[in-house]
Amino acid sequence: MQSTFSFVILSLFCVTLGDKKRLLPSYMKMCDIEDKELTACVREQIVASLPHFTKGVPELNVPSTDPVKLDDIKINGNGLNLTFTEAAMHGLSNSELTDLKVELGTQDEAFSLTLKANFSLIAKYDIDGRILILPIKGNGDAYVHTQGVAVNIQSKLIHMKNSKGEHLKMITPVYKYDIEKTTFDLRNLFNGNKELAETTLKFANENWKQLMDELAPPAIKQIVLTVVKAINKFFSNIPITEMIKGYKERL
């Protein structure tokens, strides 16, 4: 009887402790607002959490970001109609953090990060029109490999409050990007006419910039929105004081 009672007490105690357990995932550690190397510390946490993040963090309601499912992309213009449907962008999980700037605890808080990755877009395509002078027509499976895509996202941070406490939120993010190279593999061009398809694809790949001028903006925009959404989901689940030691709440 006595021992059962102790056991119950002990269990309750453990559950209570369990509730108080830190919200920060185990692969991240707290940074200190007084740390002169605060940015370096934040960088370490981002690098440590990137692989987890892209797979999704169910306990923090952060969805997987690899692949990123894209809305349909429709390009009408310049004598070319191109549609991508059922599109998914693979590659965020292998991205590298190449630049990071953090302003925290200051009047205007902000951060800027640059991710570099190789992306593969897998989709169904439908193309009709001309690339420069060359006619192109077909539909089928598309594999678009982009190499050395650097995406820089800059955002202000504001404070919000929810049941878990005061937390950060990225607002009005702006972004820019750069792409080193793109290779298009459009299967079944010209209804499978191999010779015509090969010549045209070769030409398309030599003039990849022309196509990417139209294709990249909607794709990159959706990638940025997905990343920002995931980061904000993460922020909203972890009070700022659990991420940054010594941080003074504002709300």
Q: For 191, phi and psi rounded to 5 degrees?
A: 55, 30
Span of 74-82, 104-112, 185-193, 242-250 interacting with ligand NAG by CB under 6 A: 74-82
162-165: long-range pairs with CB below 8 Å, 24+: 162/236, 164/23, 164/236, 164/237, 164/238, 164/239, 165/239, 165/240, 165/241, 165/242, 165/249
The nearer residue to ligand NAG, 183 or 199, going by C-beta atoms, is 183
Q: Is 61 in the site for ligand NAG (CB under 6 A)?
A: no
The nearer residue to ligand NAG, 114 or 237, going by C-beta atoms, is 114
CB atoms within 10 A of CB 137: 16
The nearer residue to ligand NAG, 116 or 124, going by C-beta atoms, is 116
Least CB distance to ligand NAG at residue 133 (A): 13
Q: For 53, phi and psi rounded to 5 degrees?
A: -60, -45
Q: Which of 35, 126, 128, 185 binds ligand NAG (CB under 6 A)?
A: 128
The nearer residue to ligand NAG, 22 or 74, going by C-beta atoms, is 74
Least CB distance to ligand NAG at residue 128 (A): 4
Yes or no: say if 124 and 142 are a contact pair by the CB < 8 Å rule: yes
Query: CA 232 to CA 212: how far, in whole Å?
Result: 29
Q: Is 152 in the site for ligand NAG (CB under 6 A)?
A: no
Q: Is 83 in the site for ligand NAG (CB under 6 A)?
A: no
φ/ψ region of 105 (left if φ > 0, alpha if ψ in -120 to 50, else beta) reads left
Q: Which of 11, 61, 147, 162 binds ligand NAG (CB under 6 A)?
A: 147
Least CB distance to ligand NAG at residue 148 (A): 6
Q: Is 81 in the site for ligand NAG (CB under 6 A)?
A: yes
Least CB distance to ligand NAG at residue 147 (A): 5
The nearer residue to ligand NAG, 157 or 227, going by C-beta atoms, is 227
Least CB distance to ligand NAG at residue 223 (A): 14
What is the binding site for ligand NAG (CB under 6 A)? 76, 79, 81, 94, 96, 116-118, 128-129, 147
